[in-house]
Every structure is written in C-alpha cells, then in structure tokens.
Chain A
Amino acid sequence: MQDCSIAATDLACRRGDRVLFHSLSLELQAGEALQIAGANGIGKSSLMRILAGLMPPYAGTVDCQGAVGLIDERPALDTHQPLGAALAFWQRIDGPAEDATARLGLSHLLDVPVRYLSTGQKKRAAFARLIGQGAPIWLLDEALNGLDSDAARLAETLAAEHCAQGGICIVASHQAFALQPMRRVELAEFAA
C-alpha cells in the first residue's frame, strides 16, 4: 500500500453561528487507527468532512498524503440500479480491484435494485465501494450504523486488516469500535 499520513493542526469548525470545536490537532502515520468519540451534534461528521477535504475548516490546516476513502450515511449508489451495476460504475471509475462483495455477503443481492436494500445492506455495499477504491486512508463516519452484529464484526475485521496492510483508519462513532491498537479522541474536550 502506498505511503500515507494525515495530520491536522489547530482545526476549528463553525456551523452557522456556533463554533463546534477548536484547537484540535491530530496526526496519524501508516498503520495507525483513531476513534473520534462524542455525543450527537458535537461535530464528528463535520470533522470527518474537513479531514476528507470536502469542507474547509474555519481555522487550521489539514495535510494529507494519500487518497482518502469515505463512508458516511449516503452510499452514493444509484437507487434504481441493481446493486451489481451500481457497484460496477464505481469499479469503472476506480479501476480493477479486489472484489469484496462475496465476503460482505452481497453476492445474492447483486441483481436487486439498490432502493430495495435495507440500511445495513446499503452500508455493506458502501464497504464494497470503499474496498474497491483502494484508498490508503479510510474515514468511517458512523460506519456501524444499521449493521447487524455479524456485519459489525466484519467491518471491524476489515478495518484491522486495512491498518495491518499499512492503511490509516479514522472512525467517528458514538458506539464502541473494536480495533487494536486504536487511539481515541474525545471531541467534547475541544468543544467551544
């Protein structure tokens, strides 16, 4: 896996009139994992979007080496398409990669339109898209939401394997995410 690192310095995030957090710094090297914990609305998703470069921070800088893959509440799959075709679109964009659909238990769903899939099944499909992307830095925003316990264990295993191969995993979640070793940042400590 290509060399990767992500570092954030003195980040602050403002939504509307409110500063959600400030003075947040973090740094991860290849193979490291980090959980961002905190209550609803504290700014976990905003932090993830800032780290992904999708939202400018109110203050501070993000320095990122390597491609970023993101899972959030939106799977970015065409809802009318069968799952196989919807994933094939991303495969054409991302190039040939490991096919994780069987491992994620999606094989029998490939000809089912995405709109008929359950929340957990869509989440698993998002993991298939993420693995196909082959990005060294994974940002998992509430990635366990909607997954049953078996699938949640599988997601944790996938994240552990990703780190073992030299990838970086940042997990934003209010629930436990079993991954060792993993650092933990309580976002509440940086709240304004």
Chain B
Amino acid sequence: MIGRLASLLRRDLGLLLLGGRRGGTVLPLLFFVAVAMLFPFAVGPDPVLLARTGGGVIWVAALLAAILPLDRLVEPDLELGFFDQWALRGIAEEWIVVVRVLAHWLSFGPPLMLASLLAAALLGLDGQALLTVELGLLAGTPGLAALGVIVAALTAGLRGGAALAGLLVIPLAVPLLIFGAGSLATGGESGLALTGAVSLVLLAIAPFAAGAAIRAARG
C-alpha cells in the first residue's frame, strides 16, 4: 500500500509541480505577484498605508491564486478513467485525496511563501510583519490546499465547474483569511494558532468529503 501511495505521489508531483502538465505553480504565482504589484498602483505610494494594509493584500492575493489550479486537481483524472482503475485495484479514494492534498500543497504553498518575499518588498512590509505573514501562510496554506481539493472534487464533472469552484472556495476560505490576516493586526500568536486550527479541521475532513464527492461523481 505504501509503495502504491508513493507511486501516486510521484505522479501527482510530476503533474502539479513546476513544469508539470497541470502546471499549478507558475500561473498562480505570477497572478499572486501581479495582484501585490497592482495594489500600490491603485491606492497610491503612501508607505504608511501600504505597510499597514500590505499583509492583508498578500492574504487576499494568496487566496485568489489558490483558486486558479482548481479545475485541474480532480476533473482530468475522472475524465481519463484513473479513478475507476484505482477503485478496481482497491485503492480508497480517501488515500488518493490525502496524496493529492499533499502534492497540491507542495506545488503552491512553499512557492507562495517564497513569492511573498517579493510581494512584501513591493508593499514595503517590515521584518516583523513579513515574519507574521510567512508563519500565517505556513499555517494557512495546508488548509487552503485541502479546501481546494474538496471543492475540486465537488465540482468535477459539472458544467461550468471551474467558475463554480471559485465561488465555493471564497466563502469557505473566509475563516482562514480572518485569522491569517488578523494575526497581522494583533501581531500575535493567537491568530496564527487559530489559522492552524482551521487548517487542521480542513485537512481532517478533506479525505472523507472529497472521497465521497469523487465516488458520487463516478456513478
């Protein structure tokens, strides 16, 4: 079983990581940096205002960037018949989802944290705020990855699934956004802890919710 899951992870990473065919990484990153770059143009170059709002902008940009790869997370494998073949081999959908959440997070969490360095420079964040943003993203992006896979599974096979996925993710990601961006205002650990808690809840339900959605989509 472990060997099979390792093979699945290898395939998922090959598809999702930089240069992979479902290239989840490059486009969302460029989008993320572009949003961070647009913001100073829109509100003006006042350094005090930018430093105060910059952390929140990074969080909103990260959330929007996480929506971009959703339509390629589950749908293509359903379409190509991979889920049927895995089911025939007795590999539970729940395990497949665990592997996919991990691969999806690796493909967008750490790259987003790296890109946040650039975004923080564009928005003029100081060192303390940058550290809080990075820790917040570390706590929050696993939850975003889990949420992404759940929503991708729920909308797979639906007409206009991609647009619907975006609409579904936004309200469900609000707790992550409130606690993650909120940790900047309070500068504190409580916000980070709550972000991590929301992430853990999402990670815990993702295998079951997405697994059930995939089985339903197959029927």
Contacts and interface: CB of A to CB of B under 8 A. Distances in A.
9 closest residue pairs by CB, A with B: A74-B81, A76-B81, A92-B7, A80-B21, A76-B85, A76-B82, A93-B4, A68-B88, A55-B219
A93 B219 contact: no
Interface string B75-95: 000011110110111110000
Contact of A70 (B8, B80, B85, B91): B85
Interface in A111-145: 129, 133, 135
A52 B7 contact: no
A73 to B, nearest CB: 8
A160 to B, nearest CB: 22
A76 B80 contact: yes
Please report whether the interface of chain A is mostly helix, strand, loop or mixed according to DSSP.
loop
Interface of A: 52-56, 67-70, 72, 74-80, 89-90, 92-94, 129, 133, 135
Nearest to B87: A54
A5 B29 CA distance: 52
Interface string B1-45: 001100110010001000001000000000000000000000000
A163 B87 CA distance: 24
A70 B21 contact: no
Interface of B: 3-4, 7-8, 11, 15, 21, 79-82, 84-85, 87-91, 218-219
A67 to B, nearest CB: 7
Given A55-B218, A79-B80, A67 B4 contact: no
A188 B79 CA distance: 29
Given A74-B80, A93-B4, 8 more contacts: A67-B88, A67-B90, A70-B85, A70-B88, A74-B84, A75-B80, A76-B85, A92-B3
Contact of B7 (A54, A76, A89, A133): A89
Contacts of B219: 55-56
A77 B80 contact: yes
A54 B89 contact: no
B3 A54 contact: no
Contacts of A94: 89
Contacts of B3: 92
Contacts of A70: 84-85, 88
Contacts of A54: 84, 87-88, 218
5 contacts: A67-B90, A68-B88, A70-B85, A75-B81, A76-B85
Contacts of A76: 80-82, 84-85
Contacts of B88: 52-54, 67-70, 135
A69 B89 CA distance: 8
A89 B11 CA distance: 8
Nearest to A89: B11
B80 A53 contact: no
A67 B85 CA distance: 11
Nearest to A137: B88
Contacts of B82: 76
Contacts of A67: 88-90
A74 B84 CA distance: 10
Nearest to B79: A74
A40 B1 CA distance: 39
Contacts of B11: 78, 89
